Structure 1
Amino acid sequence: MAKESVKARQKKRENLVEKYKKKRKMLKKYKKYDLLQRLPRNSSPVRLRNRCSITGRCRGYMRKFGISRIVFRNFVSQGFIPGVKKASW
């Protein structure tokens, strides 16, 4: 499980990306790169990281479900995700 400070930092970045989204798009359209560099670094969407919505884990993230592989396995075995079952051969 990720530390609370890491989760909070990610949330802060998400808010900054959303706040400066239109401004970044406009500056890129008109090729005003000097003004673009004056924006906060964390307002760039490249700095975001996919994280599990429950644990905050960044590795083994399953984009379709928005959770990590460990949480996914637990949810599947408990039957919380319909249509998915454990493979056996």
Structure 2
Amino acid sequence: MATTAKIAKDLKLAAARKARKPKLRCRHRNRCARCGRPRGYLGKFQLCRICFRNLALAGQIPGVTKSSW
């Protein structure tokens, strides 16, 4: 895989996902679509908890608001 600055980040992530495809389905690990983090994954949004929080606070996820009680 070439590591040049011209290749878009999305293309790099797609190439990395293809390269590390597990042989067995039971070893599949859900990863954040934005940063690739394997832990704290929210399946509905396909994001990790950290990226989800940052996007929600920035108002980039529709319908998500900060709760207070």
TM-score computed with the length of structure 2 as normaliser: 0.69
- SS of the aligned residue for 1:43 comes to coil
User: Once the 2 structures are TM-superposed, how far is the Cα of residue 87 of structure 1 from its aligned partner?
Assistant: 1.0
Structure 2 residue runs of 5 or longer lacking an equivalent are 1-11
How many residues are matched? 55
Structure with more of its chain in helix, by fraction: 1
The answer to whether the aligner puts 1:11 opposite 2:18 as a matched pair is: yes
User: Higher relative CO (CA 8 A, sep ≥ 6), structure 1 or 2?
Assistant: 1
- SS of the aligned residue for 1:73 comes to helix
> How far, CA to CA, are the matches of 1:85 and 1:43 in structure 2?
40
TM-score computed with the length of structure 1 as normaliser: 0.55
| Moved segments of 4+, more than 3 Å | none
Equivalent position of 2:39 in the other structure: 59
- SS of the aligned residue for 2:67 comes to coil
Compute the RMSD of aligned alpha carbons: 1.9
Percent identity, aligned pairs only? Answer: 49
Equivalent position of 1:84 in the other structure: 64
> How far, CA to CA, are the matches of 1:68 and 1:57 in structure 2?
6
> How far, CA to CA, are the matches of 1:65 and 1:47 in structure 2?
21
Q: Larger Cα Rg: Structure 1 or Structure 2? A: 1
Structure 1 residue runs of 5 or longer lacking an equivalent are 14-41
> How far, CA to CA, are the matches of 1:11 and 1:49 in structure 2?
13
